[in-house]
């Protein structure tokens, strides 16, 4: 039985990305070998989206996307700022929630959002 998802992020600066996840986001971790951190990222959910949406000419090139979910976007942004995060984008509101993208060292921008729906880990038995 599959019991979870192990997410892998390929980084141009793994040490900086790991430090961000550890120090700015504050995820707990285990160290499997010196400097090699595996993070406990909390509950997860997975979705399957089409590569082409109505009105879109070309399909998305990417096949995977990483998004961070929170239950209080304003509070989360405040905590991230206090821990040294750069928040340089305006918030948006969409049918699935409100959010923005944040820059993460070594990997680029990651969507952070507060869902307007009950996350799958809360909505399923």
Output the domain CATH number for residue 28: 3.10.180.10
In a domain, 31, yes or no: yes
Q: What is the pTM of this model?
A: 0.86
In a domain, 109, yes or no: yes
17 to each of 32, 37, 80, how far by Cα in Å? 17, 10, 14
Q: Containing domain of residue 107, as a range? A: 14-42+64-123
Sheet (strand 67-69) strand order: 67-69, 108-115, 97-104, 92-94
The pLDDT score that the predictor gives to residue 64 is: 81
Neighbour count for residue 124 (Cβ, 10 Å): 8
In a domain, 119, yes or no: yes
The pLDDT score that the predictor gives to residue 84 is: 96
Evaluate whether 29 touches 38 at the Cβ level (below 8 Å). yes
The pLDDT score that the predictor gives to residue 78 is: 96
Residues in the chain where the model's pLDDT stays below 70: none
SS3 70: coil
The pLDDT score that the predictor gives to residue 124 is: 85
In a domain, 84, yes or no: yes
SS3 21: helix
Q: Name the domain count of the chain.
A: 1
d(CA 54, CA 11): 32
């Amino acid at each position: 039985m599959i019991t979870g998802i192990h997410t892998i992020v390929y980084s141009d600066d793994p040490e900086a990305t790991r430090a961000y996840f550890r120090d700015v986001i504050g995820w707990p971790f285990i160290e499997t070998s010196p400097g090699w951190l595996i993070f406990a990222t909390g509950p997860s959910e997975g979705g399957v989206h089409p590569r082409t949406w109505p009105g879109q000419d070309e399909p998305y090139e990417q096949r995977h996307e990483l998004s961070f979910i929170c239950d209080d976007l304003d509070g989360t942004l405040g905590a991230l700022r206090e821990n040294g995060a750069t928040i340089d984008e305006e918030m948006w509101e969409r049918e699935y929630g409100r959010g923005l993208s944040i820059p993460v060292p070594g990997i680029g921008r990651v969507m952070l959002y507060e869902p307007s729906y009950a996350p799958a880990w809360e909505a399923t038995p």
